[in-house]
Amino acid sequence: MGTKENAELVRRGYEAFSAGDMGTLGELFAEDAIWHASGDGVLSGTKEGRDAILAYFGELGTRSGGNLKVTVEEIIAGETNTVAVQHNHAENGGRALDQDGALAFRVRDGKIAEVREFFQDTAKGDAFWA
C-alpha cells in the first residue's frame, strides 16, 4: 500500500468510529493489532489484539455517555506510518473533555497494525475517563 491508500484506510477508520460501526472497524485492524492508550488512568495501557481494541472503543462510548466526538483535522500518510491530528470532545456527568491529540498508525499488509495515542493533556483525559 502507498501513502494514498494508507490515508484512506485511516480515514475509513475514523468514519467507522464516528458511526459506531464496529464491524467495519474490525475489518480495518489486523487480528494481532496493538493499541497504546496514553496516560495513567483506568483506560490507559496497551490493548493487544483486535478484540481488545474494539472493547476499548466500546468503553470510550460507555464512559462518555455515547457522545464522544472525534474530529479529524489532518491525515499525513507515509508508506508505513500515518499520523492523524484530531480534536476530541465529550461531556458526561458534569465533566467535559475538550482537547487536541494525534494518533500514529503503523500499517501492515493493508491493515492497521499498531496505534499510539498522543494527547494535549493526558491528566485531563485520565480524570474524564475515571
In the predicted model, is pLDDT for residue 115 greater than 90?
yes
Query: Residue 77: beta bridge partners?
Result: 82
Mean pLDDT of 42-70: 96
Mean pLDDT of 36-62: 97
In the predicted model, is pLDDT for residue 82 greater than 80?
yes
Q: Class for domain 3-129, per CATH?
A: alpha beta
In the predicted model, is pLDDT for residue 2 greater than 90?
no
Could you tell me what percent of the chain has a pLDDT over 70? 99
Confidence of residue 27 (pLDDT cuts 50, 70, 90): very high
pTM, two decimal places = 0.94
**Terminal Cα-to-Cα distance of the chain (whole angstroms):** 38
In the predicted model, is pLDDT for residue 1 greater than 70?
no
